[in-house]
Amino acid sequence: MPELPEVETVRRDLEKYLVGKKIKDITIKPDFLNKISPNKEEFVSLLQGKKLIDVDRVGKLLILDFGLNKKLLVHLKMTGQFVFVPPRGRIIQSGHPVEQTRSAPDKYNKASFNFGKNGVLYFNDMRKFGYLKVVSNKSAEVERARYGVEPIQSAFTLKKFNELLEKRPNMEIKKFLLMQNFISGIGNIYVDEACFATSIMGDRKIRTLSEPERKKLYQSIKKIIKKAVEMRGTSVNTYVDGSGQKGNYVKYLKVYSRVGKKCLRCKKATIKKMKVAGRGTSYCPACQK
């Protein structure tokens, strides 16, 4: 599912392909009208003919600037995809042309941003949890302020992490890490990976975490998120980057999506699954305490 590394990859792709390009027209599928804001007519008239100036991101939220006194907020939620298709259907990645691995628009296409001779940007969303909202700059700032520090920012220090942990001593660590107002960008995949790397169970109450465990958890979060950004995200289900390619962090996953398989660390126990914070949680019953 799109978490910080996936959304950051999409952000970079859109920035690379589309900044400076002008939207010629926009189409919205009828079954997605209630996820467009303010409404289709205003949405289209506000963005049509506008040039993309900047692509920003906070947590898992994309913020597109078209030089207006408004911003376009895009959340992919669970199955949203932003896929850019250049005129000739090929894309340059790391200096080399690569073929699209996925036809776009696909079956679940919900919106299309036609950039004329520069190509088309498709928004697909199987489960329709995502949204496209044009809001005032002021509202965009209010929205942005709801997000906490990101694991890849320099402001995310061990001291900061410890201070945040102290605010919720009785909360389960997994639930805390999933809350976007404390630390933003972590989702179900990376939270399980971070807990595994720290050898702690996701349902541990924060107050029971020792000093060394807190430090290890902090380091694990940073390391895992950074590596995942480097690998262009994780494609377990529907995630693809801004050119329709899958993310490469899958081969680095240690617990997530490994239920029933041998633990890669102790090589004895089998990865199990339980519910923590209402979410499916993969863990090694032998390694994680």
Residue 166 bears catalytic tag: no
Of residues 1, 12, 4, the one with CA closest to residue 226: 4
Q: Which of 16, 128, 279, 285 is catalytic?
A: 279
Are 82 and 121 contacting, i.e. CB atoms less than 8 angstroms apart?
yes
Q: Which stretch binds DNA (CB under 7 A): 133-141, 173-181, 212-220, 223-231?
A: 173-181
Are 13 and 55 contacting, i.e. CB atoms less than 8 angstroms apart?
no
Element containing residue 193 per DSSP (H, E)? helix 188-198
Q: Which of 60, 110, 232, 258 is catalytic?
A: 60
> Is residue 189 a contact point for DNA (CB under 7 A)?
yes
Residue 103 CA to residue 88 CA, distance in Å, equals 13
> Is residue 253 a contact point for DNA (CB under 7 A)?
no
Q: How far is the CB of 3 from DNA (least distance, A)?
A: 5
Q: How far is the CB of 219 from DNA (least distance, A)?
A: 22
Residue 87 bears catalytic tag: no
Residue 275 CA to residue 267 CA, distance in Å, equals 23
> Is residue 178 a contact point for DNA (CB under 7 A)?
yes
- Choose, by CB under 7 A, the member of 90, 138, 205, 227 that binds DNA: 205
Q: Tokens in use for 28?
A: 């919205």
Residue 279 bears catalytic tag: yes
Number of residues that bind DNA (CB under 7 A): 33
Question: Please, which residue, 216 or 272, has the CB nearer to DNA?
Answer: 272
Residue 5 bears catalytic tag: no
Q: How far is CA 280 from CA 14, 43, 72, 254, in A?
A: 31, 37, 32, 15
Question: Please, which residue, 90 or 273, has the CB nearer to DNA?
Answer: 273
Of residues 27, 224, 211, the one with CA closest to residue 115: 27
Question: Please, which residue, 23 or 36, has the CB nearer to DNA?
Answer: 36
Residues 6 or more apart in contact with residue 250 via CB below 8 angstroms: 234, 235, 236, 257
- Choose, by CB under 7 A, the member of 13, 23, 59, 197 that binds DNA: 59
Burial 131-165 (b: 16+ CB within 10 A, else e): bbbbbeeeebeebbeebbbbbbeeebeeeebeebb
- Encoded one letter per residue, x for contact with DNA by CB under 7 A and - for no contact, window 2-41 reads xx---------------------------x----------
Positive or negative torsion for Cα 151, 153, 155, 157: positive
Q: How far is the CB of 77 from DNA (least distance, A)?
A: 5
Q: How far is the CB of 96 from DNA (least distance, A)?
A: 31
- Encoded one letter per residue, x for contact with DNA by CB under 7 A and - for no contact, window 133-172 reads -------------x---------------------xxxxx
Q: Tokens in use for 176?
A: 């805390």
> Is residue 127 a contact point for DNA (CB under 7 A)?
yes
Q: Which active-site residues does the annotation give?
A: 2-3, 60, 279
Residues in contact with DNA by the rule CB under 7 A: 1-3, 31, 59-61, 75, 77-78, 126-129, 146, 168-172, 175, 178, 180, 187-189, 205, 273, 275, 277-280
